[in-house]
């Protein structure tokens, strides 16, 4: 899915919603809700480290300079992803930016999400 980025490469992504991300946002599933379902007590989402590393790699490589990334994340967080907890808001905003810039397709993201969900479900321990 490609969206207009406002003309310049560093502009905040357009505000068109992304079907896959909208489904996640409207599902209302946050880490606070998911963690107990999978028996996890760590308050930090497991994807937090990967999210931070991805953001740093995009900035360091020049693919998306830090200030542009933060501006786009802030813009999306205040608009499309407002009302979400901070970690989920940041994750959805980064996914939106990657999708809008054509760095990943919605189909690729959906496939990767399904694989992660499958691994989580396979490792889930049922209470005795």
Query: Does the pLDDT value for residue 12 go beyond 70?
Result: no
Q: Which two tokens stand for residue 27?
A: 């599902």
Q: What are the helix (H) ranges across 1-128? A: 19-27, 31-37, 48-61, 66-78, 86-100, 106-123
pTM for this entry: 0.76
**Tell me: the pLDDT tens digits for 60-106?**
999 889 999 999 999 999 999 998 888 899 999 999 999 988 889 99
Q: 47-123: what CATH class? A: mainly alpha
59 pLDDT higher than 60: yes
| Residue 125: pLDDT over 70 | no
């Amino acid at each position: 899915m490609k969206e207009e980025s406002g003309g310049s490469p560093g502009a905040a992504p357009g505000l068109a919603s992304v079907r896959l991300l909208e489904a996640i946002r409207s599902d209302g599933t946050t880490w606070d809700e998911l963690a107990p379902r999978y028996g996890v007590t760590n308050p930090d989402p497991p994807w937090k480290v990967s999210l931070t590393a991805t953001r740093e790699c995009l900035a360091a490589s020049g693919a998306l300079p830090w200030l542009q990334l933060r501006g786009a994340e802030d813009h999306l967080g205040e608009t499309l992803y407002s009302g979400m907890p901070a970690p989920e808001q940041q994750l959805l905003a980064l996914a939106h930016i990657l999708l809008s810039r054509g760095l990943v397709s919605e189909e690729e993201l959906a496939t990767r999400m399904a694989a992660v969900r499958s691994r989580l479900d396979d490792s889930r321990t049922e209470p005795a």
